[in-house]
Amino acid sequence: MSETSASDEILTTADGKPLKEALAKAQFFAKRRAFILVLPLLAFILLTFVMPIGQMLHRSVKNEGFTVHTDVTTGVRTPIMTELSIWFDQNPSGTVPDEAAYTALRNDIGALDELRSAGSAGTRINYLRAGSRSLFTKAARKWDKMEAPYQDAFYDLDDEWADATLWAAMRQASSSYTFDFYLAAMDYTRDGDGSVTKVNENRQVYIKLFVRTLFLSLLITFMTFILAYPIAHLLATLPLRHSNILMILVLLPFWTSLLVRTTSWMVLLQSQGVVNDAMVGVGILADESRLQMMYNQTGTVIAMTHILLPFMVLPLYSVMRPINPSYVRAARSLGATSWTAFRRIYFPQTVPGIGAGALLVFILAVGYYITPALVGGADGQLISNLIAFHMQKSLNWSLAAALASLLLGGILLLYWLYDRLVGIDNLKLG
């Protein structure tokens, strides 16, 4: 009876407010307090994670090398190549450049020379068409001595100014936004008429490195699994005081600097290193047939497997520890062989740990950079080494950003696949 009356009347609190409102209000305060507590973390993530990634994605499609000159000391932005971009707007793609185009080009290069940005504008064109940079720096040195007709003046300077691919590249670059860096990151380029083609075979490198990165990361993940499973099992089944000592042995390298561990592997594996010396010493190897285990893929795989091993051991250990040993004993007492008991009873219970460990190791391996740089030689390099090359040496940041975005996209895709196949809920990190 009281139930029916309660559903008809609005419930109120002692001071007469509707209960729903009072609850919502109380919850609002609690939520706001909780939000204020996580605010530092949110700000931190926005500042150090979301923003840089956003900037990176933006840089991969935007390059102002041929459109705006920014003075590095004052920050003043001056549009460049303005006359030429007007000519590009007025004439459709594929138009043969006429005297008006060359006049615009000459005036724009004059402006470049005064801003001292012929080198950077030329570099932007060089990304699209190799060998173009010098055309701009040379023209910038001589523009004021050129005389009309400018078409001939440019031809006198260098025949390449007549090249259709050069004009196509300038048309491409005359807009700040472009997908060309993604094309370059997948070993494609544009022809003179703007159509997309594969780059010359002796310049193809990125797809090969993406595939190699994927393959080596899977291999390393598999190796860590093979090595970590028995260790984790041992750790989980030994009495606590023994397993604690073993655990320290697992964690000790984990606490050691990455560089120290990598260089130790160099000492061990180089051809005059400890491992080779020992094998020569006991007579397994002849002195002249020492194994090359460093500065190649073998070096990368060995060093990375060791460095990433704890990331596999720890999740495995955390799922193995709580497994009740009586399950396997029960299976055995019901007639299962030790293999069947392992396969049907023990192993399935450890799958969430395998999933977590594999995902951790794989994702870390895909982005690894220092170790392959030091021990990878030529064929043990991963895509991250090329990203670092473009960040630090060639300074083609747009291409580095495009490569990094492709890598990020690839990992997200794999993560999605993993979620569909295995289910992310089945992960157990500890």
Q: Which residues of this protein are in contact with another protein, per CB under 8 A? A: 72-73, 75, 115-120, 122-123, 126-127, 130-131, 133-134, 137, 140, 202-205, 208-209, 212, 270-272, 295, 377-379, 381, 386, 389, 391-397
Name the strand (E) or helix (H) holding 167: helix 164-173
Helix axes 206-237, 297-320, angle to 10 degrees: 40
- Closer residue to another protein, CB minimum distance, 119 or 367: 119
- Closer residue to another protein, CB minimum distance, 129 or 315: 129
- Closer residue to another protein, CB minimum distance, 210 or 229: 210
| Percent composition of the chain: helix, strand, coil (DSSP 3-state, to 5) | 70, 5, 25
User: Peptide bond preceding 149: is omega within 30 degrees of 0, i.e. cis?
Assistant: yes
Say if residues 287 and 280 touch (Cβ distance below 8 Å): yes
**Shortest gap between Cβ of 148 and another protein (angstroms)?**
26
**Shortest gap between Cβ of 102 and another protein (angstroms)?**
22
Query: Partners of 198 in the beta sheet?
Result: 188
Residue found under tokens 């594999």:
358
- Closer residue to another protein, CB minimum distance, 272 or 326: 272
- Closer residue to another protein, CB minimum distance, 103 or 123: 123
**Shortest gap between Cβ of 48 and another protein (angstroms)?**
17
- Closer residue to another protein, CB minimum distance, 122 or 310: 122
**Shortest gap between Cβ of 117 and another protein (angstroms)?**
5
Say if residues 372 and 323 touch (Cβ distance below 8 Å): no
Burial of 174-186, coded b for 16+ CB within 10 Å and e otherwise, reads beeebebbbbbbb
**Shortest gap between Cβ of 297 and another protein (angstroms)?**
12
- Structure tokens, 363: 């994702």
Say if residues 362 and 221 touch (Cβ distance below 8 Å): yes
Query: Partners of 197 in the beta sheet?
Result: 189
Q: How far apart are CA 64 and CA 397, in angstroms?
A: 12
Q: How crowded is the C-beta side of 199, counted as CA atoms within 13 Å?
A: 19
**Shortest gap between Cβ of 422 and another protein (angstroms)?**
32
- Closer residue to another protein, CB minimum distance, 101 or 294: 294
**Shortest gap between Cβ of 116 and another protein (angstroms)?**
4
- Closer residue to another protein, CB minimum distance, 36 or 378: 378
**Shortest gap between Cβ of 251 and another protein (angstroms)?**
31
Sign of CA dihedral 405, 257, 47, 397: negative
Name the strand (E) or helix (H) holding 115: helix 99-115
Q: How far apart are CA 71 and CA 75, in angstroms?
A: 5
